[in-house]
Structure 1
């Protein structure tokens, strides 16, 4: 037996990792290799991840702020008008009882103000004074009403979205310390694949080359068109050269196919040639069993990862949600994804000693999950109408009414499901 054959036999003999164990393991190695923090202007921070807590630079609001258009009054009325206060200005104090200034929403409340009278609830007397009855509750926001300077508003690990950007701006920040987005690449393996036109004559259309980069972007990665390579020739030298080139710039390289040990499955010997260590090699999950994640560490300590996705399209997506999503959460310094619970609307079979990830439509209003049809590992029709995967644990089956975890699919860019 050759050295390569013996190594392959040893790899095959290792038991697959449990699905939940695999998720935890890849998240931990991702977090240990979390990408460095960088400063980004607010305009460039969308889609990144906070590398440090978000805190206000001042109290919010920083000064007493009128919440209505009206009259800032001192003492009892009617009041003599002595000026006007607009937003963006620092007003002089109201020094005498019986005086008022017109005030706009958002304007700084003058020192000495005892109440604000809404404009629509005021009248003018014959001599030009303002009359009316202020409401008993103050009509302005006190300093620190929303937050105090230095208070933690969002923890490190929070994904940056438009709401976070707006909050950061209101806190007085011009830049944010964030984890940069992971750089990803895709290598498509398989001489039998077509990249255009309909399938036929023993060849099938590559469905993963167009779709995997889109999934990766939804998980926060940067993937350029030039980062998608393939089909790579079914030879070991071609695989080694393609993977080495992809790893030069990428934090994560995904590959499709070649995760078993068939006559043209060269991923395992390629990883061995490049000195990679397995984090996970096969997972006890159906579909998608022959998935893997490997790690390479340069002499300078730089860590990169290779995710081997099965060649069947739905199995590849199972590998993405099982291994790639938790890995990327760790790399970005985000919390380990917590799976929501749903109620099965129909029975879902188990897969013996394997975790079953079953495609479902998720009715978020009712909190129920409905299995979809056309869910073979080589099929994509069911996936196109699904919202996620119901998790049926080993040794169990899902009955209608059972509460089970669900792995949501990131159906829109930046969605916070993961």
Structure 2
């Protein structure tokens, strides 16, 4: 029996604020692309909804719109069947019906439903159900004639999908029937999804809320990020000034030099008459009537007579008012870091305070019953080798460290830690992110009502990391417990968290040409790399994660993605040296 498919992809997404749900991306693929991929091995595919770009469209793709638009799933299904009928009425077919908002739909599960329908003459439709026995009527396969009888000739808009279900049906437990109706649904899906590094970074930037802006004196704004453009309150220069030590002159030479000297910061100089000159210091206000300033090496002085040297270049060392910028000029856009150069520029422009965000403050929590930061070690203990150095790596990511605490491997300890660290923007937890017996962080996040933003990442090491947001908007960044894994993961994802909180403008990652990269197939690898000159980098074959000895003598950490071959360019994470 031929098999066609109707994909319902035109809903309003009202419970998600009108978002186009079929375009939501999970693990690098849109929900619509997932639905298309699940049915593309069959015959015709009708997508009911606005036309969208598909990366791998099926061979026989049709588009349709329900009447009225957004008239509900039954109206959309009727439009899809009508599109099949217009395309060809020859032969009878089964019809797969799928809503394009299910993140776990796949070809194998769809084929299970198709096989049941095509081998069981006693049923007219087969639907998927979940482990609780709940039937998903927008995930099924119908006999074409039964579907057309159910749709009938009446108005489709507003009818309930369940009202169409024929008497002869079967259900099969698939376990992948969950759809996405709300932001919470999406969070649960993404929290259970292993994201690529690129998707994890994008997810962080899209979900984390900006820190509130604050106005601070310019001198106290270092390391923060501008929350609004820096605009000049005064022109620069504020007045006509001398760029060099020399002479201010009026008119054509030779000139008669006055006895006084014009110094910077003193009262307004006397005007210059034509044919006269006056000695002037760098930065001094140019006297009214001046037509030029000549530096010392371009003139000769004989008594009170000043002459321009015959080979002197044609130039005027007067800095005119507003030559560099005028009042209201934009000197830096929002989203840039407040560097020493920006602080100096703001002061030159008459700005005394800046509206900034960040830097995000961080408290580090090192976990583990075996960890000891000071004092003699028992036979079953090890020294804390990551807590003392983590502040350097945090600063390199744009954070401001605010101290370290230690938590034992107990549920109560993690609950107390998350509650106690309320004076910072980010809580960085080292360890307890996996699924082992002593890994308690994820349970504590659940009990705290946290929203998981990134549940795991396709990288080694660091795949077990977790990024979540507590109800009070604090961010929890869970790192692996091994020192190298913790540092590599922090350098890889920490800057994205910092930028998302402060609104920092995206930066172009540093890249290098990788020579003889280590092999990787399904996950990115984070390995120490050495710069060999001429933009060539050599990455280690592997590194031990229980200490940071692998970073000794290295110049960066290479992000080696699957399929990378020798000579390819790859991202290089800078490693702080102090």
Of structures 1 and 2, the one scoring higher in RCO (CA 8 A, sep 6+) is 1
Whether 1:354 aligns to 2:523 is: yes
Query: Match of 2:525, SS?
Result: strand
Distance 1:36 1:197 in 2: 41
Residue from 261, 278, 296 that aligns with 1:101:
278
Indicate conservation of the 8 Å contact 1:187/1:243, yes or no: no
Greater radius of gyration (CA): 2
Indicate conservation of the 8 Å contact 1:68/1:104, yes or no: yes
Distance 1:408 1:174 in 2: 34
| 1:172-251 superposed matches below 5 A | 172-196=350-374, 201-225=379-403, 228-230=404-406, 232-246=407-421, 248-251=422-425
Whether 1:323 aligns to 2:493 is: yes
Compute the displacement of 1:272 (Å). Answer: 0.8
Q: Which residue of 1 aligns with 2:565?
A: 398
Q: Which residue of 1 aligns with 2:308?
A: 132
Distance 2:525 2:308 in 1: 69
Q: Which residue of 2 aligns with 1:308?
A: 478
Compute the displacement of 1:347 (Å). Answer: 0.8
1:33-53 deviation digits (Å, cap 9, x = unpaired): 211222222332222222211
Residue from 449, 454, 463 that aligns with 1:289:
463
Indicate conservation of the 8 Å contact 1:57/1:172, yes or no: yes
Question: CA RMSD for the aligned pairs?
Answer: 2.4
Change in 2 beyond 3 A, CA 1:223/1:405: closer
Whether 1:370 aligns to 2:543 is: no
Whether 1:119 aligns to 2:296 is: yes
Residue from 23, 35, 56 that aligns with 2:232:
56
Change in 2 beyond 3 A, CA 1:198/1:380: farther
Distance 1:330 1:243 in 2: 21
Whether 1:265 aligns to 2:434 is: no
Indicate conservation of the 8 Å contact 2:517/2:538, yes or no: no
Whether 1:73 aligns to 2:240 is: no
Q: Which residue of 1 aligns with 2:211?
A: 35
Distance 1:12 1:75 in 2: 75
Gaps of at least 5 residues in structure 2 are 1-187
Change in 2 beyond 3 A, CA 1:411/1:29: farther
Distance 2:577 2:372 in 1: 26
Indicate conservation of the 8 Å contact 1:190/1:257, yes or no: yes
Whether 1:19 aligns to 2:189 is: no
Gaps of at least 5 residues in structure 1 are 1-9, 413-418
Indicate conservation of the 8 Å contact 1:373/1:382, yes or no: no
Query: Match of 1:317, SS?
Result: helix
1:240-282 deviation digits (Å, cap 9, x = unpaired): 1122111x21211111111112222111111111011110011
Distance 2:517 2:375 in 1: 36
If the length of structure 1 is used for normalisation, what is the TM-score?
Answer: 0.85
Distance 2:348 2:189 in 1: 54
Indicate conservation of the 8 Å contact 2:190/2:454, yes or no: no
Query: Match of 2:342, SS?
Result: helix
205-214 or 306-315, which deviates more: 205-214
Residue from 544, 548, 553 that aligns with 1:385:
553
If the length of structure 2 is used for normalisation, what is the TM-score?
Answer: 0.63
Compute the displacement of 1:373 (Å). Answer: 7.2
